[in-house]
A and B are shown apart, each in its own frame.
Chain A
């Protein structure tokens, strides 16, 4: 079955950008890749924790980061803080896609400079809407 098709008229984004997907669950990386491909994004790289993500960020130019919060080694929040402290990525769009949905989590992420926040479970439309907002 998979996620419902996203209406093409709702998608007006630069789909040539390189997106880094960070999640310790391959399932979530796969679902996000399916949605992003449906939206027309083809340049996708992935990492299973913040440490691996940071290595990728240091070695190639990434235009957008989509990250989980709760991961081993380096959490999504720690990755976000590292990204915002770097010269290269301090203004890079950073979308947190996480099951951590308590008020304090959202406040911490906003204070650390997250661009937007999606709570799991989500619909394909929710991802599309948030991407449109942060890629304006």
Chain B
């Protein structure tokens, strides 16, 4: 993580915790960030969103199946049983909200970003393609219902 600008990463951690706790009523704990070497998702469903502005990059939010079922069931107030279109849509919106919250914090630091509309990928061991050639920083999170990870990648 030698050339990582943590001021670009911390807002995404704060935003992730805020969004999940507010919209899905779960307690979120963040693990230790690490440098991700490959493009294989650690989760089963991933939202990916491109960012442009003072730097160009992508964020990805990837959930293990049981984790996202817990999150979306809480958001809707009804039990959701399997990965379906509702789950994919919810992951897109969660990614969108995390991006928005993080960009708000970055904006207050004078770093203005714009975001694209997120795309969602579902399936075991799918590939996450980040924009640019910068380091891919992964931050694991834990809730009662499972694990999820965000990846942040900005061009060098």
Question: Mask for A26-41, Cβ within 8 A of B = 1, else 0?
Answer: 1110110010000000
**B89-124 with Cβ < 8 A to chain A:** 89-90, 92-93, 96-97, 99-101, 103-104, 107, 112, 115, 117
Residue numbers in A under 8 Å from B100 (CB-CB):
98-101, 119-120
Contact of A99 with B97 in the complex, beta carbons under 8 Å: yes
**A95-123 with Cβ < 8 A to chain B:** 98-104, 119-123
The answer to the question of A70 belonging to the interface, with a C-beta cut-off of 8 Å to chain B, is yes
A25-B73 Cα distance, complex, nearest whole Å: 16
**A1-40 with Cβ < 8 A to chain B:** 1-3, 24-28, 30-31, 34
Tally of contacts, chain A with chain B, CB under 8 A: 70
Contact of A27 with B78 in the complex, beta carbons under 8 Å: no
Residue numbers in B under 8 Å from A30 (CB-CB):
76
Residue numbers in A under 8 Å from B99 (CB-CB):
99
A123-B100 Cα distance, complex, nearest whole Å: 16
Residue numbers in A under 8 Å from B96 (CB-CB):
25, 70, 99, 120
Contact of A121 with B77 in the complex, beta carbons under 8 Å: no
Residue numbers in B under 8 Å from A120 (CB-CB):
19, 23, 96-97, 100-101
Question: Mask for A120-134, Cβ within 8 A of B = 1, else 0?
Answer: 111100000000000
SS of B interface (majority): helix
SS of A interface (majority): loop
Closest chain B CB from A97 CB (angstroms): 11
| Interface size counted on chain B using CB atoms at 8 A | 28
A3-B100 Cα distance, complex, nearest whole Å: 21
Residue with the greatest number of chain A CB neighbours at <10 A, chosen from B73, B100, B115? B100
| Interface size counted on chain A using CB atoms at 8 A | 25
Residue numbers in A under 8 Å from B19 (CB-CB):
120-121
The answer to the question of B74 belonging to the interface, with a C-beta cut-off of 8 Å to chain A, is yes
Closest chain A CB from B72 CB (angstroms): 8
Residue numbers in A under 8 Å from B81 (CB-CB):
none
Closest chain A CB from B62 CB (angstroms): 17
Residue numbers in B under 8 Å from A101 (CB-CB):
100-101, 103-104
Closest chain A CB from B11 CB (angstroms): 12
Q: Looking at the complex, which one of A26, A72, A121 makes contact with B86 (CB distance below 8 Å)?
A: A26
Closest chain A CB from B25 CB (angstroms): 5
Residue numbers in A under 8 Å from B107 (CB-CB):
102-104
A119-B18 Cα distance, complex, nearest whole Å: 12
Closest chain B CB from A1 CB (angstroms): 4
A and B contact pairs by CB, cutoff 8 A, 8 listed: A3-B77, A27-B72, A27-B89, A34-B76, A119-B104, A120-B23, A120-B100, A120-B101
Which 10 pairs between the two chains have the least Cβ-Cβ distance? A2-B77, A99-B100, A121-B22, A101-B104, A25-B93, A102-B107, A1-B74, A27-B90, A27-B93, A121-B23
